[in-house]
Amino acid sequence: MFTAYVIVSVLTIVANVWAAIVDFAGARFVLANQVELGLPTSWIPTLGLLKAAGAAGLVLGLMGVRLLGIAAAIGLVLYFAGAIVAHIRARVLLKIIFPGCYLALAVASLSLAVTQ
């Protein structure tokens, strides 16, 4: 079970680091998505910071700070649940798969972190 925890956590970390980087870089598709969801583009750096903090917390969880890893996974679950809500509210259902995949990774990371 520990191997699954490590693999899923690393996948979640990589996905969120990538998402944070494209947020910080101001990628066009990120800006377009914010506008489509009806959210201020000024939130993008903060949203990127939240993703990066979640990834960092998962790293610390892998390094033995178990409660911080669990807290980071909870934060990512809440973040991406909110992203799902934002997509539903804006009726941008074709793109809901993206936050859905991130949410699935966060839930899997949380489930495995709790069982360690």
What is the per-residue pLDDT across 71-89, written as a single tens digit (0 to 9) for each?
999 999 999 999 999 999 9
Residues 28-75 have pLDDT tens digits of: 999 999 999 999 999 999 999 999 999 999 999 999 999 999 999 999
What are the C-alpha distances in Å from 51 to residues 12, 81, 116?
Answer: 10, 13, 23
Angle formed at CA 97 by CA 71 and CA 45, multiple of 5 degrees: 55
Contact 62, 14 (CB under 8 A): no
Confidence of residue 1 (pLDDT cuts 50, 70, 90): confident
